[in-house]
Amino acid sequence: MMYDVNRVREDFPILAREIYGRPLVYLDNGATTQKPRQVVEAMVDEYYNVNANVHRGVHFLSQQATDLHEASRETVRRFINAQSTSEILFTRGTTESINLLAFSFGEAMVKEGDEVVVSAMEHHSNIVPWQMMCERKGAQLRVIPMTDEGELQLEALDGLLNEKTRIVCCTQVSNVLGTVNPVKEVVRLAHEKAIPVLIDGAQSVPHMKVDVQELDCDFFAFSGHKVYGPTGVGVLYGKEVWLGKLPPYQGGGEMIKNVSFEKTTYNELPYKFEAGTPDYVATHALATALDYVSGLGMENIEAHEQELTRYALERMQQIEGMHIFGGARNRDAVISFQVGDIHHLDMGTLLDRLGIAVRTGHHCAEPLMRRLGIEGTVRASFGLYNTKAEVDALVEGIERIRRMF
Ligand code: PLP
């Protein structure tokens, strides 16, 4: 059963705003999503009524804050169906999750001459941390190529995997092309050679049901702010067998068992990877956001956004001079485009004047831009609250700008 999108929009106060005297049409959900009242209220309530540092206090408020924080870990576990809360590490976001993994995994598992495999359509945050680690260790980055349609070439992946490959890192959904990658198949191929896999779930978690056990991935990263939660919090999931073998990322409070000037022993999972005071207000708000989307039903959100994307593609393809990048068979709620020779920045700026928020540029995927032979695109990305009327506004806006040029 689908939800009532107009009712749901009332939960998001910002959607009632006007920009330059026009109703806001927010189509930049790939960059960040708007927050429902419930999420903001959870934060306000915690700051006003509960606030105390977690884990270290015997007093009432500290206990209560700790309970909320740890209950949030359980909510995340359930949301992605991890086996245990020891496998859920709180970070600042996808970027920090991948940096943590690249550092700790690199320290323990990578040596000179080894290889790390990423895909041609990764966000910089799933390229640069690996590149930095490779540089430190004298390892090599290898790339899974893609077709012109924006689909990964899995037959090439098989050829890339060898005894030197330490890890495969791949996004589940491309933030530029909207391609939904067959990550389960990537995992299967890698596991045939006992190679672990990290999945970047930044663009999948907000749009579809994710089950890390079903995917059988070894690591999975996502950001709170892209799934209607607050900024500054994210998750790294890791199978216990792997996390147990990796050294800590940062040192400090919370991640230790005992400290002396001679030697420090480390805390158990997940705390070993969580040095310092966590953003416990944000973790609670993230859990509130996950409960919110679960309440609507991830299947319903996916169905709503799929219908919206199909409708948008159909209407946009009729615009003269329209070029849509990527044509994967399995695609998500992201549409990158260019119209004639109108520069993406001009298109974005003029759409903004009509109250329509889209993203322009390279979308933190310069290697992908190079592969496509372009400098940038205009990107419209949908969220659970977008409507067909907003797609119509986008299409009419593009038409109007096209006629101006
Ligand atoms: N990975 C993908 C596919 C993304 O789209 C993004 C953000 O745009 C990131 C990683 C980085 O997320 P964050 O900036 O929240 O760390």
- Please name each of the domains of the chain with its CATH number: 5-30+297-404 (3.90.1150.10), 41-294 (3.40.640.10)
Nearest to 164 by CA among 226, 114, 109: 114
The preferred substitution site among 29, 32, 94, 219 for testing ligand 1, maximizing ligand atoms within 8 Å of CB, is 94
| Concatenated DSSP letters of 117-159 | EEETT--GGGTHHHHHHHHHHT-EEEEE-B-TTS-B-HHHHHH
CA of 295 to the centre of ligand 1 (A): 25
What pLDDT does 1 receive? 66
DSSP letter for 120, please: T
- Exposure string over 10-40, b if 16+ CB within 10 A, otherwise e: ebbeebeeeeeeebbbbbbbbebbbbbeebe
Beta strands 234-238 and 322-325: pairing type?
unpaired
Ligand 1 atom closest to the CA of 175, numbered from 1: 5
Contact 316, 62 (CB under 8 A): no
For residue 125, the CA-to-ligand 1 centroid distance in Å is 7
Residues 135, 131: Cα–Cα separation, whole Å: 6
Predicted pLDDT at 57 = 82
What SS3 state is found at 304? Answer: helix
CA-nearest of 215, 242, 223 to 90 is: 223
0.75 surpassed by pTM: yes
Mutation test residue for ligand 1: of 169, 198, 223, 366, the one with most atoms within 8 Å of CB: 223
C-alpha 9/C-alpha 136 separation (Å) is 48
**How far, in Å, CA of 108 to CA of 193, rounded?**
19
Which residue matches tokens 């158990």? 268
Tokens of 203: 């663009």
Ligand 1 pocket (Cβ < 6 Å) reads 93-95, 123, 125-126, 171, 175, 200, 202-203, 223, 364
The predicted-structure confidence for 306-349, as pLDDT tens digits, reads as follows 999 999 999 999 999 999 999 999 999 999 999 999 999 999 99
Please provide the DSSP assignment of 65-116 as one string.
Answer: HHHHHHHHHHHHHHHHT-S-GGGEEEESSHHHHHHHHHHHHHHHH--TT-EE
Identify the three-state secondary structure at position 230. Answer: coil
> What residue type is 11 in one-letter code?
D
- Backbone phi, psi, residue 59, to 5°: -75, 165
- Rounded Cα distance, 209 and 205, in Å: 7
- The DSSP string of 318-332 is TSTTEEEE---SSB-
Compute φ and ψ for 10, nearest 5 degrees: -65, -20
Contacts of 235 (CB under 8 A, 6+ apart): 76, 80, 88, 89, 90, 91, 97, 220, 221, 222, 224
Report the distance separating Cα 85 and Cα 240, nearest Å: 10
Active site residue 364: yes
To 10 degrees, the CA torsion angle through 320, 325, 326, 330? -70
* Residues of the chain where predicted confidence (pLDDT) is lower than 70: 1
Ligand 1 mean position to 95 CA, how many Å?
6
Distance 316 CA to ligand 1 centre (A): 26
